[in-house]
A = this chain, B = another copy of it.
Amino acid sequence: MPGRTKIAMLIMDGLGGLPREPGGPTELEDARTPHLDALAERSELGLTLPVAPGITPGSGPGHLAIFGYDPLRYVIGRGALEALGVDFELGPSDLAARGNFCSVDTAGSLTDRRAGRIPTDLNRELCGLLQTIRVEGAEFFVKTVKEHRFAFVARAPGLEDALTETDPQRTGVPVPLVRALQPGSEKAAQVVNQFIDGARLKLAGRTPANMILLRGFAASPVLPTFMDRYALHAAAIAVRGMYRGVARLVGMQVLALQGEALSDEFAALETHWGEFDFFYLHVKQTDTAGEQGDFAGKVQAIEAVDAQLPRLLALDPDVVIVGGDHSSPAVLQAHSWHPVPLLVYSRYTRSGGPAEFGERACARGSLGILPATDVMPLALAHAGRLAKFGA
């Protein structure tokens, strides 16, 4: 069986929800999901805890957990997340940070931490300018995020990330240089400060965006790969850079898409089905609607996934995981700590529960409430990919 079986992991970002009124349906329960419901009847259900009870995960920890990596052990720093978010391929000698364009007065005092939220187009032009800064022995990458925000990456051997931030978090004071918090980060401090000096010169006169702030320094996290840990040739299907980036960090091959629609993601699944053992397919719309407080929008996003599900099932996967990286209830307009619905399908499940995929059905499910990091071992077991322990 090993090497022959295929696992599909369908992650609806922020899947878990809450009722709008006591006893009412959640987004997932409200959604008309005939295909998910029918699959639930042939599957086992449960609820995943991404980090720990009561803990609301960010997208990084939520994804690491569902991929089987303890999110308390493996941490992706904020700078690295920002770089992943703009689809930057972080390498092992990269030091990333979140950047802001800001305004300083002639004395060098900070007057606006966000440079009046300059238009994204101007941001692009200024990033081009910053990209021309040269420091011997180092390379820099500056990529626009949005408005005043950009991702910053310095590449050179031996750049450690124990650095102070340059954002004083208030105006009326000078913008400090970075300082090394540990001896091993001295080189990184030098390289980054030379870049900041360069930025000051390049941006002189470009008021309001005449200076930069850098924070959230993070070396590129080193994670064992899906091949190392699970002996899986894994592929990732995701539209947003951050999810593509986290998948890349765990050694998945990120598949090219024809477009950014859900149907394009499922098309990529079909196109590449023969080439990999494991597929991670990420759906962003559920989380976006949840964070916007758009209950109906989240319901629709779930229904849209349900409509595509037959395309996945037609490929006859050996194991199907349907779940989320965390909850994003519309009533909270944010990520939340609530455990996340989980469905595990294979031929080897104790199936026959209700034909219903929803928070309450999952709370009564035979998988119970389990750490999200248990999902991958379960998936591997159902795929016949784990050896017996002991004789």
Contacts and interface: CB of A to CB of B under 8 A. Distances in A.
B389 A56 contact: yes
Contact of A55 (B60, B61, B386): B386
Contacts of A41: 22-23
Q: Which of A81, A331, A349, A368 has the most CB of B within 10 A?
A: A368
B59 A389 contact: no
Contact of A75 (B47, B378, B382, B390): B390
A381 B57 CA distance: 12
Contacts of A76: 390
A60 B389 CA distance: 9
A4 interface: no
A73 interface: no
Contact of A52 (B59, B352, B377): B377
B336 A56 contact: no
Contact of A377 (B53, B71, B352): B53
Contacts of A349: 18, 22
Interface size class of A (residues with CB under 8 A): 35 or more
Q: How many copies does the complex hold?
A: 2
B366 A366 contact: no
A348 B360 contact: no
Q: Which of A55, A57, A367, A377 has the most CB of B within 10 A?
A: A55
A353 B360 CA distance: 9
Interface string A156-195: 0000000000000000000000000000000000000000
Nearest to A98: B391
A232 interface: no
A99 to B, nearest CB: 15
Contacts of A53: 370, 374, 377-378, 381
Contacts of A379: 54
A374 B57 contact: no
A78 interface: yes
A119 interface: no
Given A55-B386, A364-B366, 13 more contacts: A18-B349, A22-B41, A23-B42, A52-B377, A53-B370, A54-B379, A56-B389, A60-B390, A337-B381, A337-B386, A363-B365, A367-B369, A368-B369
